[in-house]
Amino acid sequence: MARPALIVHGGAGAVPESERAGRQAAVERARDAGWATMGAGALAAAVAAVRHMEDEPLLNAGIGACLTTDGVCELDAGVMVGDSLRVGAAACLRDVRHPIDLAVAVMEDGRHVLLVADGASRFASEHGLEMADPSIFITDRKRQQLLEGADTVGAVARDADGHLAVAVSTGGRTGKLPGRVGDSPIAGAGFYADDRFGALCGTGLGEAFIRLGLARLAVVELQHGMDPAAVAQGAIDLLGTAMHAPGGVILIGREGSPRAAFNTPAMPWALAQ
């Protein structure tokens, strides 16, 4: 029997001081939602936590996400399980109510890893997922146009059987070009899980995570026997020195407590174990 654990983050960055308490509370609610489903396994817990954060308007995922230069929300999500290395992801979504649900559906379908834009929306509709008018994601246009440093929400879980899972969801970067895809739906860049070693979820400048392949790189370090706390901090140190980029990570190893590290003024996170 392994010791179950869950760690959740709400995005790394220089968010307004006035929002920090609210964002921390949102992350703690997500932690509680995920932990309540841990009995169903690591995947259920990670997805439940992220799905909750897609409904928290202060976080950059789902409702309240940042806007593209066209003034709309384009949402990305990804999920991975460590027992089989199965991955599902979706990107550039405008009308799927819960992007993380679509990522799970893509993974369970098994034919592909990543679907985008209209094709992803059609897949979601054909599989009975909840759709929505794109306007539902915009709650405070002025705030969402200014939203900075609140990238990617995510969760990493380990269940009693030792299985690991990671789930991520994001609105991307403020003012991004339509069609831009960051690291969040790309396995090995923004997230990775392998039951043999550990699982990690990142947040920050997605282009930097992609260039480094940071999530997979961190899991390789765990494979080499590095301490999870050192791996988390090392990933952030590399992000800063090699890419001069802001960001944060949450990580769970095969055993031991979850870890978090970031180089930004804030990254709300919460854990249960």
**What is the CATH classification number for the domain harbouring 266?**
3.60.20.30
Domain extent for 163:
5-272
User: Taking the chain, what is the end-to-end CA distance rounded to the nearest angstrom?
Assistant: 14
Per mean pLDDT, which range of 113-117, 146-150, 203-207, 231-235 is the poorest?
A: 146-150
pLDDT for the residue numbered 89: 99
Average confidence (pLDDT) over 52-67: 96
Query: What gap in Å lies between CA 237 and CA 171, rounded to an integer?
Result: 25
Torsion of CA 160, 161, 163, 165, to 10 degrees: -40
Query: What gap in Å lies between CA 154 and CA 50, rounded to an integer?
Result: 6
User: How does pLDDT run across 72-91, given as a tens digit for each residue?
Assistant: 999 999 999 999 999 999 99
pLDDT for the residue numbered 149: 61
pLDDT confidence tier of residue 14, bands split at 50, 70 and 90: confident
Q: How many domains is the chain built from? A: 1
Q: Which two tokens stand for residue 3?
A: 């010791």
* Catalytic site residue from 37, 69, 139, 152: 152
pLDDT for the residue numbered 126: 98
Active site annotation includes 174: no
pLDDT for the residue numbered 108: 98
Per DSSP, 130 falls in state P
pTM score, whole prediction = 0.97
Residues 6 or more apart whose Cβ sits within 8 Å of residue 230: none
pLDDT confidence tier of residue 150, bands split at 50, 70 and 90: low
Is the per-residue pLDDT at 166 higher than 80? yes
